[in-house]
Structure 1
């Protein structure tokens, strides 16, 4: 047990607060108000969103730092250190990055980000289900007579589809998505499953068929709609992709006439596909020959094409994807049980890549990348194998098939559902308007399907002539790159890139001083060149070109060039680099491994030993909080005194009710319930003259009966901290008595401040 610590001057009330992202209606400034009912809401649940930096104006001794708030995970009664915090102090560097875009949280998207995408894209949610579009119940909609702005109620065929009130949408005719559509936002999610009311502001096309219109989400896919691994459900961040077109019609409907079934039939099954809808079985008949579904696509002459389909083993576990034109072919064979692939080719065909990608719940995405030299029409075949391609069927064998896609390019992008026409997903080209400093450090945490010719992040002025970029070059090297006035001035290579692997790269820059590092490796130094003036940050692309085609997890921009050692550390672990620190608690559990207690605010506490620092930083990480935001009530930073002799036996803590009670003439009791507050008394004896007059008397003089007092009875007690530590007032001013030779005594009587 440690001795009591007392504080009664809160420097946070006069501090300049910054950092994090906060609600306009519940701003960060509320942390400095002495009303605990004034809430500050952080628009996220991770350090990028919740950071609190307090500038005290000058270095001054601080002995007590506390934050009272609503960090909520784990759920009530569930043990576990899900939420954590960290308190640090030091010079100006403690302010951390100028920009911290963390795309692995579930908070609201940063409002400064502008997104260019205006067509369908899908993602995997945290439950492993593909999201992003849904078919409505058949709807009679006369576009000619529909005049926006107007509301439109719709009912989804699949009520589990994850749409959210307020997000941007487009309602399209599945047969003519680029000709007949309405756009707007979701006004309301109805109480009945699948019932949605739309606010429509734009209409294109004409006619009035009764059809099942398709509702598409246009909301940014980062944060609430971020991508996840379909198997592990790990957070992959914001998937940024170039424009792609799925050339196959009826991508999830093998029974449609768009597909030619040879020696096979498509049979509906009661199996759930990766998007939560129904899957079909490609089942062989009893004939001898190929058992397959085929469809022709038109491509640029000799184009490289990525064909992909989601499959799940049933009676058959061998399968092939084939591109062919006459005698020319490229084929990938897949053994789903063994998880192996093999390539074969003939004539002018080139089989380039075969991949199996786990898609969750037994589903696998099989991919073939191939080309047919000189051909402009490719035949795509989804073929059963047993073990070869031509065999005598038994009328029962087959496997589950869903989500076929054929796209021009050297890799398979995210799934693009189609109906009666090919469908194009527009590129994701987000940009953030930003005046970056002449000296800084740009870092990115990402993964890509490619190794070459892509941009991870680019500071530029809207042209390629002036830029500070992290790229992967034509040869597959990771490069920190600067162009100024159209001249390439800096190009620092930090090694070869890897496809489909998490990578971290950083680039520190200042006029005449440059350094780059990747994955914690040695820094590469450059000593010549200037720094261009930039006006914004492109993430996952540059000027709408050279897209990442992968997941961007986090982007940091520091307002200083990190030292080489800091840059190496940042590119390795992505830990914040705050320069030389005067104090650091390290990461602490909010609940210290104990169970969360309803009715009490968690207390985030540090008792630095009289550290004199100007800047104090508090970081919160509550990644298990499904709400995606945090409500915080009161920040305390100030000097403190630890008693040389602790309080005596007889200390008391209890609840005091302020309930008003009245009795009727008939004897019945009536109650007017009011909030209860904690009260505590601490007998303090054997105090020195210094403590008697400079601590206890000064406490009474400054705080009086209305000022705030923060008492920490036992700084080492984490088990009962949230019950014992609270912001209080002195309930009475007890005299200080000289009870012993050169020793003094008094009593602290505290009452919890509820407002």
Structure 2
């Protein structure tokens, strides 16, 4: 008989804090849910021991103090190092700025769900005056900018409006140039909201393959992309705002142009009425194949430093056996790095990520500074997020991913090299696996197979 703990996906209460009432249990996709007075709660398998480390960035405890519910994060002590400020999305869907060396707990902008802690590589917004489209660095062609007419996603009256003029049968747009390097992949993003016009077109106009553009319908989320793009995407930010993104690879080293066009519903070539337009805010241009959270700029480009999230291990570490669990959503695998790394040499990785063949995961161990075991690289392209558990035992290594046992193999280790620090989504040489960490736990023994399968089940 399996024992279960109850926790709330809505409130996060402990069992003792759950409201009184009739309890109905349901089995759904091999998970159990409890319905108490019409509120639905997840039921999580109970592990036979408590983790000695538990940093659950994506969850919170909610307790009742006699007057109101108080929500507190479920975390152990950990350290965040980042040499710059950086942005994140709060529970209300607004873009906020975290101070230097402060964590970024980010939320789903539509649902308000707490996703976890952002951990990112260094990125640069190459576009100056990213919110000031009325600045002279932005060329207005048969269009004008009405500045600061709508509350933007940072909660301030900084949103501009791109307005068409009355020119006949031609394009209405705002654009600017940047220095492109041949073979470099760039990602261009902008936040936009429908006004009189509801279709925005963003494009790389020169030094890129033909048709490096996409039409974004800001009412339906539909995207019509040209053949010159590597990818395109749209993300709802709530309250009618969307983040539109295109990615393409430069074909020449020269001055290139980025353009934001208005579309009247059928074409970018039309006769304007002099008053219609779209709200825009926060353009970002990055030398990368994926967009990262917004970095505002003024007169110059701005670089956001990489994140380092770590947790020191003391007596918690067991050199004979242990189980390392992480739940995270990847954004971009940066070369070869660690999903869970350690303070030891660069090969001492508990969970290893590799982008050489898409997205791969393996588990490794080191004894005395020598790599003694590395499992086959497991390619997992079938899920947007991952629950991963690496189990280390004397003479055996196991790896569980999203409810499947994918590695079960012997190794020669009888005592594991001491680990004094865990690095979350980072390896000791500084390479970051950009993503959102929701949960990290360390158990000082090898969990049973049934526990491993239950803990990693999506």
Q: TM-score with structure 1 length normalisation?
A: 0.50
Pairwise CA distance, 1:392:
2.0
SS at match of 1:395: coil
* Corresponding residue number in structure 1 for 2:418: 533
8 Å contact from structure 2 (residues 208, 251) kept in 1 = no
Q: Distance in 1 between matches of 2:411 and 2:19?
A: 50
* Corresponding residue number in structure 1 for 2:456: 571
Distance 1:235 1:420, change over 3 A: same
1:422 paired residue among 301, 307, 317: 301
* Corresponding residue number in structure 2 for 1:363: 241
1:490 paired residue among 374, 378, 387: 374
Pairwise CA distance, 1:488:
5.9
Pairwise CA distance, 1:251:
0.8
* Corresponding residue number in structure 2 for 1:461: 343
* Corresponding residue number in structure 1 for 2:161: 281
* Corresponding residue number in structure 2 for 1:549: 434
Q: Distance in 1 between matches of 2:324 and 2:343?
A: 16
2:231 paired residue among 353, 369, 374: 353
1:97 aligns with 2:62: no
2:445 paired residue among 560, 575, 584: 560
* Corresponding residue number in structure 2 for 1:390: 269
1:309 paired residue among 172, 178, 190: 190
8 Å contact from structure 1 (residues 280, 400) kept in 2 = yes
> Which protein has the bigger helix share?
1
* Corresponding residue number in structure 2 for 1:481: 364
Structure 1 runs of 4+ aligned residues shifted over 4 Å read: 71-74, 79-86, 108-111, 326-329, 451-456, 492-495
Q: Distance in 2 between matches of 1:245 and 1:405?
A: 9
* Corresponding residue number in structure 2 for 1:441: 323
* Corresponding residue number in structure 2 for 1:295: 176
Distance 1:322 1:85, change over 3 A: closer
8 Å contact from structure 2 (residues 187, 286) kept in 1 = yes
Distance 1:237 1:307, change over 3 A: same
Pairwise CA distance, 1:130:
1.3
Q: How many pairs were matched up?
A: 410
Distance 1:529 1:389, change over 3 A: farther
* Corresponding residue number in structure 2 for 1:520: 403
Q: Distance in 2 between matches of 1:450 and 1:401?
A: 26
* Corresponding residue number in structure 2 for 1:325: 206
Q: Distance in 1 between matches of 2:208 and 2:429?
A: 39
SS at match of 2:427: coil
> Which protein has the bigger strand share?
2
Q: Distance in 1 between matches of 2:372 and 2:239?
A: 49
Alignment of 1:583-622 (within 5 A): none
* Corresponding residue number in structure 2 for 1:342: 224
SS at match of 2:132: coil
Q: TM-score with structure 2 length normalisation?
A: 0.81
**RMSD of aligned C-alpha atoms?**
3.1
Distance 1:102 1:455, change over 3 A: farther
* Corresponding residue number in structure 2 for 1:129: 94
* Corresponding residue number in structure 2 for 1:249: 128
Q: Distance in 2 between matches of 1:431 and 1:131?
A: 23
Q: Distance in 1 between matches of 2:407 and 2:76?
A: 35
Pairwise CA distance, 1:246:
0.5
Q: Distance in 1 between matches of 2:92 and 2:214?
A: 30
Q: Distance in 2 between matches of 1:442 and 1:426?
A: 27
Q: Deviations over 1:689-729 (max 9, x none)?
A: xxxxxxxxxxxxxxxxxxxxxxxxxxxxxxxxxxxxxxxxx
SS at match of 2:296: coil
Q: Distance in 2 between matches of 1:85 and 1:406?
A: 40
8 Å contact from structure 1 (residues 483, 490) kept in 2 = no
* Corresponding residue number in structure 1 for 2:390: 507
* Corresponding residue number in structure 2 for 1:233: 112
Worse-superposed segment, 277-286 or 374-383: 374-383
* Corresponding residue number in structure 2 for 1:663: none
8 Å contact from structure 2 (residues 232, 245) kept in 1 = yes
Structure 2 residue runs without a partner (length 5+): 1-10, 21-35, 61-70
Q: Distance in 1 between matches of 2:385 and 2:42?
A: 26
Q: Distance in 1 between matches of 2:74 and 2:306?
A: 18
Q: Distance in 2 between matches of 1:81 and 1:341?
A: 38
Q: Distance in 2 between matches of 1:488 and 1:111?
A: 31
Distance 1:95 1:251, change over 3 A: same
Pairwise CA distance, 1:543:
2.3
Indicate the structure (1 or 2) with the bigger Cα radius of gyration: 1
Pairwise CA distance, 1:465:
3.1
8 Å contact from structure 2 (residues 110, 236) kept in 1 = yes
1:381 paired residue among 237, 247, 259: 259
* Corresponding residue number in structure 1 for 2:31: none
Structure 1 residue runs without a partner (length 5+): 1-44, 52-66, 133-215, 574-755
Q: Distance in 2 between matches of 1:425 and 1:452?
A: 16
8 Å contact from structure 2 (residues 236, 242) kept in 1 = yes
Worse-superposed segment, 106-115 or 412-421: 106-115
1:260 aligns with 2:116: no
Pairwise CA distance, 1:83:
12
Pairwise CA distance, 1:73:
8.7
* Corresponding residue number in structure 2 for 1:733: none
Q: Distance in 2 between matches of 1:451 and 1:218?
A: 24
Alignment of 1:650-665 (within 5 A): none
Pairwise CA distance, 1:243:
0.6
